[in-house]
Amino acid sequence: MPEQIKLLTSRRAYEFHADDLRLSTLSLKPIQEQIQQLFHFQSSTMGTPIPTFGDVPATYPPGFVFNMGVWLSPEQQIIPIRFLHFEQRRVVIDVAGPSTAITAIYEQLLHFLHQMQAGDGSPIIGQPERILDYSEITSQLRFSIDEMFISPLRKLFTKTVIPVESNQPLTLVPTLALGAYQSDQELHATPSPNEPQTFTLTFRVGTRPEEKIYFSAAPLDSETHRIYLSDLEAVLASAT
């Protein structure tokens, strides 16, 4: 089993059909202030949120951003809310905790918003069309990432990448970035590390390769992400 597991970030986007998220009403000052108080956000501002699950369209109002709040679990555990974004068709919640906390935070937000209506009498927020997850975890794993390459390939990379004249003990430090695409369609982009739909695995910055502490980012909720890392470790440990 992976050791020294640390959950850095869980993030989720709730995506809505056109006009099912009433951004103009959400941007009203009294509603902003109540949301800020509801989760004790340290700051809030009207503006275009940073892209997290794709491009953020230019609209008016541009969106709303709440930063550094807190949610208290039923077990009295304090969960930092890193940010809450309202985009034209997305609500994005990012926490320094498990994805289950996002579910509870969103339900609390819905309970508050369902007490209100837009100017035409319609709900401020409707039912999401799609829910997207992302999480980041660091953990110590019982393998070296270069073991994903077969032995002849490792030898080739070592011979090519590490200078022969080097007097220092050097090791290969690969970064794995995987995505899924339709094979019969033209690629407009390739997987890049830390993007919301990319599986990323590499050594954790600030650690030594010999410690085998890894950074993993994945389009998964935090619990599924933990299971994936455990399965990955089991597969590679059995293959070596």
Q: How many CB atoms lie within 10 A of CB 172?
A: 14
* Of 220 and 161, more confident: 220
Element (H, E) at 2: none
Can you tell me the distance from the alpha carbon of 163 to that of 209, in angstroms, rounded to the nearest whole number? Answer: 18
pLDDT above 90 (res 237): no
Interior CA angle at 103 toward 95 and 21, to 5°?
95
What string of DSSP letters covers 11-45? Answer: EEEEE--TTSB-HHHHTSHHHHHHHHHHTT-SEEE
Cα–Cα separations (whole angstroms), residue 203 to 7, 11, 93, 191, 239: 15, 22, 27, 18, 20
Mean pLDDT calculated for residue range 161-177: 81
pLDDT above 80 (res 224): yes
The closest alpha carbon to 79, from 132, 9, 28, 135, belongs to 9
pLDDT above 90 (res 17): yes
Q: State pLDDT tens for residues 56-73.
A: 988 889 999 999 999 998
Please state the length of the chain: 240
pLDDT above 70 (res 143): yes
> According to the model, what pLDDT value does residue 87 have?
94
Confidence class for position 122, pLDDT limits 50, 70, 90: confident
Confidence class for position 240, pLDDT limits 50, 70, 90: low
pLDDT above 70 (res 1): no
> According to the model, what pLDDT value does residue 120 have?
78
Say how many Å lie between the first and final Cα of the chain, rounded.
16
| Contact (CB, 8 A) for 124 and 81 | no
> According to the model, what pLDDT value does residue 211 have?
92
| Beta strands, E only, 77-224 | 78-86, 90-95, 130-140, 176-178, 199-203, 213-218
Torsion 97-98-104-107 (CA) sign: positive
* Of 174 and 95, more confident: 95
Confidence class for position 146, pLDDT limits 50, 70, 90: confident
